Amino acid sequence: MRFACVAGLLVLLTSTAFGVDALLAPVRNLECAAKRAVRFTQGATTQGKVGGPTAFVKAVAKGSYPTEARPNTCDVTMTLHVRYEGGNELEFPLGHNTDADFDLVDWSPRADEILISSRRWVDPVNAPKITLFNVKSKTHRFIDVAALFASEGWIHCAAIIETTGFTPDGHIAVYASVKRPPDCTPAKSYWAFDPKNPKVQQLSPDYRQREYGRVIAPEQRPCKGDPGIVDSCYTVHGRVQYGNGSPGLRIWRIGTDRMLGVLDSENEIIPANLANQLDGFGTAVFGDFEVCPFTKSKASEMQMVCVESAQHLVAKHY
């Protein structure tokens, strides 16, 4: 049930952190600009049990958050909104993280805790920070998954670790995919830990993740109503197609040399009828698109937009 709130870019993982900041500086500048533009996203509203509390998350990018080590990072803040039985809704600030996204993963089996994962994508061991929120005590705590695996000797493992949810006994489950070296663990495996006494243990190969919460309202991804819009929306006749770079989805305004970039990167704000036509890099979709700008139009610069509506669509496959 993962609902991404601010999407991060995929980067190549290295077996050592040496030179990562300098290598990723151009990527961070672009990603930071995208996060500043798309200032508001909201995950789907979820419910732990019928008639029980509901929750959703909001993530806001504040822009540059300079540090001596990372001068071009973005400071992404997140709040958790919980609507309790009776209609009382409370907002809980959950701090900030740099160069990250936030996901509302799932409810606990007893529907008393909410699991939130914050992705960090610049470390060799690409592991999340976890926030565990208790809806009864209205308190939360943080768990650094990378530190848990470091205690197992995962220092130079090129690994991607995803938060998947809860086990039936209330432990937190993660999924590890390891590129190298092969002696870290089998290439793909589930691990779990008790949040009260965090120590990772590998689960059996036949483990299957189940969900305990349910979606009661779809994810809200406004285009025209997004507060990041800087100018009036307008309609273009163009071709939509995926390409290399960021953002990956772009609109060529037919008859011009202008290209529009569609945000968010890897989680584009587009209508369903357009999304259904796109099929990876091998498809181009022609039509009339109402777009709303996140950045001002400037000569020789790609303008960042979202797509409010799409009409007269024709898809061509290559």
- What's the token pair of residue 175? 């999924």
Query: Does a structural domain hold residue 228?
Result: no
If asked whether residues 208 and 260 sit together in one domain, one would say: no
Q: Which residues contact 81 (CB under 8 A, 6 or more apart)?
A: 55, 56, 57, 58, 89, 90, 91, 92
Query: Does a structural domain hold residue 229?
Result: no
Query: Does a structural domain hold residue 226?
Result: no
CA–CA separation, 47 and 211 (whole Å): 11
Residue 244, CB half-sphere, CA atoms under 13 Å: how many?
0
CA–CA separation, 304 and 315 (whole Å): 23
Domain boundary among 189, 217, 245: 217
CB 288 within 8 A of CB 311: yes
At 34 the pLDDT is 46
If asked whether residues 137 and 13 sit together in one domain, one would say: yes
If asked whether residues 11 and 84 sit together in one domain, one would say: yes
If asked whether residues 204 and 275 sit together in one domain, one would say: no
Domain boundary among 167, 191, 217: 217
- Number of domains, the chain: 2
Q: Which residues contact 290 (CB under 8 A, 6 or more apart)?
A: 233, 234, 235, 307, 308, 309, 310
In order along its 318 residues, the chain shows pLDDT tens digits of 655 554 332 222 222 333 433 433 333 444 444 444 334 445 667 888 877 888 877 766 554 444 445 555 556 677 888 888 878 888 888 776 654 567 788 999 999 999 988 865 555 567 888 999 999 999 999 998 988 988 888 877 777 888 999 999 999 999 988 766 666 766 688 999 999 888 899 999 999 999 998 877 666 667 887 767 888 999 999 999 988 877 889 999 999 989 999 987 666 889 889 988 887 778 899 999 999 998 888 888 899 999 999 999 999 887
CB 179 within 8 A of CB 159: yes
Domain boundary among 166, 190, 217: 217
CA–CA separation, 57 and 183 (whole Å): 38
If asked whether residues 7 and 55 sit together in one domain, one would say: yes
CA–CA separation, 87 and 99 (whole Å): 34
Query: Does a structural domain hold residue 272?
Result: yes
Query: Does a structural domain hold residue 252?
Result: yes
Query: 143 forms bridges with which residues in the sheet?
Result: 130
Q: Which residues contact 174 (CB under 8 A, 6 or more apart)?
A: 127, 128, 145, 161, 162, 163, 164, 190, 191, 192, 200
φ/ψ of 146, rounded to 5, equals -60, -40
At 16 the pLDDT is 33
If asked whether residues 137 and 17 sit together in one domain, one would say: yes
Entry pTM: 0.64
If asked whether residues 175 and 87 sit together in one domain, one would say: yes
At 68 the pLDDT is 45
If asked whether residues 244 and 196 sit together in one domain, one would say: no
If asked whether residues 114 and 238 sit together in one domain, one would say: no
If asked whether residues 192 and 45 sit together in one domain, one would say: yes
At 4 the pLDDT is 53
Query: Does a structural domain hold residue 225?
Result: no
If asked whether residues 285 and 192 sit together in one domain, one would say: no
Residue 98 domain boundaries: 3-217
Identify the burial level of 111 via C-beta atoms within 10 angstroms of its C-beta, where 0-12 means exposed, 13-18 middle and 19 or more buried: middle
CATH number of the domain residue 243 falls in: 2.40.50
If asked whether residues 193 and 303 sit together in one domain, one would say: no
Preceding peptide of 181 cis, ω within 30°: yes
CB 164 within 8 A of CB 175: yes
CA–CA separation, 192 and 174 (whole Å): 6
Query: Does a structural domain hold residue 223?
Result: no
Query: Does a structural domain hold residue 265?
Result: yes
